[in-house]
Amino acid sequence: MSDVTKLLESNVDDVKAGLAGLSHDDLLKLKAAETDGKKRSGVLDALNDAIAAADAARAQGLTQESAPANPPAIAAQLDTSGAADIPAADTFAPSGAPQQVVPDVDPDHPAVDNDPRAGTTELQNRIDFNDPTKPGHEAVADMLAGKN
């Protein structure tokens, strides 16, 4: 019995906790040993999840050493920076876009579209508030007829 399969001598919760950081090959060895042994559904489910995560990491070109230490869900829980406290917009541009100041955003940065309505027409930029009292076909007919 290899050292990694000794983990299967533990209860289900301890086995689940022990899967973190194991290699893809070790996870496959554990699954084979559990399938040939106790066949505990909780352990097999946890192994399948861990193997799927390892497969996904491999598909992204990540090795065990280069994979992020904290998966996104855990990383989000570790964010202690606090609420953004960005005030809600109380004014709107003629285009209908909310005017809101967000700190630390450079509108001239290439990744920021500081003119999203460039090259569009007035009709394309009309604000379309859906009327929940009208069926869809009537709303479309009214819109095509130029009615609000």
pLDDT in tens, 72-121: 555 556 667 777 777 788 888 887 778 877 777 787 888 888 787 788 88
**What is the band of 61 on the pLDDT scale with cuts at 50, 70, 90?**
low
Contact 96, 127 (CB under 8 A): yes
**What is the band of 65 on the pLDDT scale with cuts at 50, 70, 90?**
low
Contact 23, 40 (CB under 8 A): no
Provide the phi-psi class of 21: left if phi over 0, else alpha when psi is between -120 and 50, else beta.
Answer: left
Among 43-47, 57-61, 97-101, 112-116, top mean pLDDT goes to 43-47
Instruction: Please give the structure tokens belonging to residue 26.
Output: 């070790």
Question: Is pLDDT above 70 for 48?
Answer: yes
pLDDT of residue 141: 86
Integer Cα distance of 64 and 44 in angstroms: 21
Q: For the segment 17-32, what is each residue's pLDDT rounded down to a tens digit?
A: 888 888 888 888 999 9
